[in-house]
């Protein structure tokens, strides 16, 4: 595993754009020179591009839109939509059959839009590029958006979840190597030992924290416990599996950190910004987080605040978690399929993806980029860590669900019931699974 240090010098603005627990996927072209051999489009051709790049972030596209037009004759009209309203806008336009030609998609939009018949099957286009076209992508992110023999998105960049470790607090507890860097816990018992050593209840200082405030985003940062124990959320038939033995063990260990060992503050009262602020103010030694947490760390910890990121942080059974994937999809209603496909290939080439990763510390999901020493040197230690996390697989790719937020809400409510001592873990997860299964029965997900 990679273990790196970081001085939080990134600007607030750059990473606020990437929060979601969000963040970002790999690129597609076979080489960074792919854009130079694209077919020439018709001079009058124009396509529309919809994404959440607004304000200064929208300027990212300026030079690439210009380059693309010079090389192909195709004009790209960018439509930036604020993230908060993006999902609803996309669903509304899907229903109205008025989607832009190329659409930025993530797990909360791509499944629903595909289910509504709004996204074009890209598999025939991908197959035309040759047998090696998809081989450079991280397998999970390529398969995650395939369903019933169709492909609904081309991966771009991703946010990734890792274990954040507060360097100052680790040094004070003597949990560092000869260079003064935090030593990541190698397994769950070691992590629990760390938590107990780092926790000082009388000073309101804790070894670990995680939030369960009522929002879907926070629950994603509980997922590493489940992944490390080879657990998953659902079965292949889409019935719930989040009450199986792996989930009971994983979530039981995590909630016991609060209930049994008093090693973290009450998660019921914490949102992502809350516990990230505690981390940056030396009140919490460890937390799971992603690139979206960096803005809060920078704001509250200052430019000299030091931490490291590691994954899986604990290695009970399994590596891996990739969160925050982003894809590019084509509208099923586009009249400019060829031009739109050319643009998707262009922005998925190595140069565009690398530039996006440099500016946001997103992780590419092309193995050739992750293995490129020049890229790793340029993006720096923290970016390298995120990049290498991103190529580690989960148990399997996220199936094509239309209601992942619903599923995560049910798990979040279940864990809230546990930490409030209203329910046992098994009872809470059984109830959540029953509700999910009833929901799937009444609302087919495929």
Residue 412 belongs to a domain: yes
- Count the neighbouring beta carbons within 10 Å of the beta carbon of residue 53: 20
Residue 4 belongs to a domain: no
d(CA 327, CA 110): 8
Residue 15 belongs to a domain: no
177 and 279 share a domain? yes
CA 393 to chain CA centroid, nearest Å: 13
Residue 258 belongs to a domain: yes
Per-residue pLDDT for 446 more than 90?
no
184 and 99 share a domain? no
Q: Give the pLDDT score at 220.
A: 82
CA separation, residue 203 to residues 173, 194, 196, 278 (Å): 15, 17, 14, 13
- Count the neighbouring beta carbons within 10 Å of the beta carbon of residue 359: 15
Q: Are 160 and 291 in contact (CB under 8 A)?
A: yes
Residue 59 belongs to a domain: yes
Residue 51 belongs to a domain: yes
- Count the neighbouring beta carbons within 10 Å of the beta carbon of residue 31: 13
Edge to edge, what strands does the sheet with 102-106 contain? 75-80, 46-51, 102-106, 325-330, 154-158, 363-364
299 and 433 share a domain? yes
pLDDT for 194-208, tens place per residue?
Answer: 999 999 989 999 999
pLDDT for 242-291, tens place per residue?
Answer: 999 999 999 999 999 999 999 999 999 898 899 999 999 999 999 998 88
Q: Are 21 and 221 in contact (CB under 8 A)?
A: yes
Q: Give me the CATH number covering residue 238.
A: 3.40.190.10
146 and 127 share a domain? yes
Per-residue pLDDT for 321 more than 90?
no
357 and 422 share a domain? no
Highest mean pLDDT among 133-142, 146-155, 278-287: 278-287
d(CA 308, CA 293): 13
Q: Who wins on pLDDT, 139 or 291?
A: 291
298 and 200 share a domain? yes
Q: Give the pLDDT score at 215.
A: 65
Per-residue pLDDT for 187 more than 90?
no
Residue 364 belongs to a domain: yes
189 and 65 share a domain? no
Number of domains in the chain: 2
171 and 305 share a domain? yes
Residue 8 belongs to a domain: no
193 and 299 share a domain? yes
Q: Are 318 and 2 in contact (CB under 8 A)?
A: no
238 and 304 share a domain? yes
Label residues 90-104 b or e (16+ Cβ within 10 Å = b). Answer: beebbeeeebbbbbb
- Domain of residue 207: give its range: 162-321+403-442
d(CA 218, CA 271): 7
Per-residue pLDDT for 400 more than 90?
no
Q: Give the pLDDT score at 4.
A: 43
Cβ neighbors of 346 (< 8 A, separation 6 or more) are 29, 34, 35, 38, 64, 68, 71, 72, 352
Considering only 99-108, 137-146, 411-420, 422-431, which range has the smallest mean pLDDT?
137-146
113 and 261 share a domain? no
Per-residue pLDDT for 293 more than 80?
yes
Average pLDDT, the chain: 85
Q: Model pTM?
A: 0.81
195 and 292 share a domain? yes
What SS3 class is residue 271? coil
Strand partners, 288: 163
pLDDT for 20-56, tens place per residue?
Answer: 333 333 333 333 334 344 455 555 799 999 999 999 9
- Count the neighbouring beta carbons within 10 Å of the beta carbon of residue 147: 18
Per-residue pLDDT for 317 more than 80?
no
């Amino acid at each position: 595993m990679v273990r790196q240090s970081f001085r939080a010098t990134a600007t607030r603005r750059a990473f606020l754009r990437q929060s979601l627990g969000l963040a970002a996927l790999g690129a597609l072209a076979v080489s960074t020179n792919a854009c130079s051999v694209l077919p020439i489009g018709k001079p009058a051709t124009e396509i529309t591009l919809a994404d959440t790049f607004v304000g200064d972030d929208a300027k990212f596209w300026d030079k690439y839109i210009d380059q693309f037009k010079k090389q192909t004759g195709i004009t790209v009209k960018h439509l930036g939509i604020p993230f908060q309203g993006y999902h609803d806008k996309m669903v509304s336009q899907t229903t109205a059959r008025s989607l832009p030609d190329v659409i930025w998609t993530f797990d909360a939009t791509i499944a629903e839009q595909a289910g509504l018949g709004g996204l074009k099957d890209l598999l025939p286009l991908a197959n035309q590029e040759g047998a090696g076209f998809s081989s450079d992508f991280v397998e999970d992110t390529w398969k995650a958006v395939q369903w019933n023999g169709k492909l609904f998105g081309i991966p771009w960049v991703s946010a990734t979840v890792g274990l954040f470790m507060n360097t100052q607090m680790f040094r004070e507890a003597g949990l560092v190597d000869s260079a003064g860097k935090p030593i990541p816990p190698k397994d769950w018992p070691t992590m629990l030992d760390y938590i107990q050593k780092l926790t000082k209840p009388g000073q309101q200082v804790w070894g670990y924290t995680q939030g369960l405030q009522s929002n879907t985003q926070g629950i994603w940062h509980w997922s590493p416990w489940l992944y490390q124990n080879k657990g998953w959320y659902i079965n292949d038939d889409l019935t719930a599996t989040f009450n199986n033995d792996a989930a009971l063990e994983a979530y039981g260990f995590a909630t016991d950190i609060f209930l049994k060992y008093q090693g973290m503050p009450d998660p019921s009262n914490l949102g992502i910004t809350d516990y990230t602020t505690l981390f940056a103010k030396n009140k919490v030694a460890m937390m799971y987080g992603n690139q979206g947490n960096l803005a809060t760390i920078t704001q509250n910890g200052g430019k000299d605040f030091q931490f490291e990121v590691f994954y899986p942080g604990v290695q009970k059974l399994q590596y891996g978690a990739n969160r925050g994937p982003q894809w590019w999809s084509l509208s099923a209603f586009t009249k400019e399929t060829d031009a739109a496909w050319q643009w998707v290939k262009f922005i998925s080439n190595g140069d565009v993806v690398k530039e996006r990763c440099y500016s946001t510390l997103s992780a590419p999901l092309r193995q050739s980029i992750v293995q490129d020493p020049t890229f790793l040197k340029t993006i720096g230690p923290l970016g390298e860590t995120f990049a290498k996390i991103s190529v580690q697989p989960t148990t399997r790719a996220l199936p094509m669900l239309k209601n992942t937020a619903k599923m995560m809400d049910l798990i979040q409510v279940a864990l809230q019931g546990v930490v409030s001592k209203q329910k046992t873990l098994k009872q809470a997860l059984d109830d959540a699974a029953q509700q999910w299964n009833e929901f799937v029965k009444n609302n087919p997900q495929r």
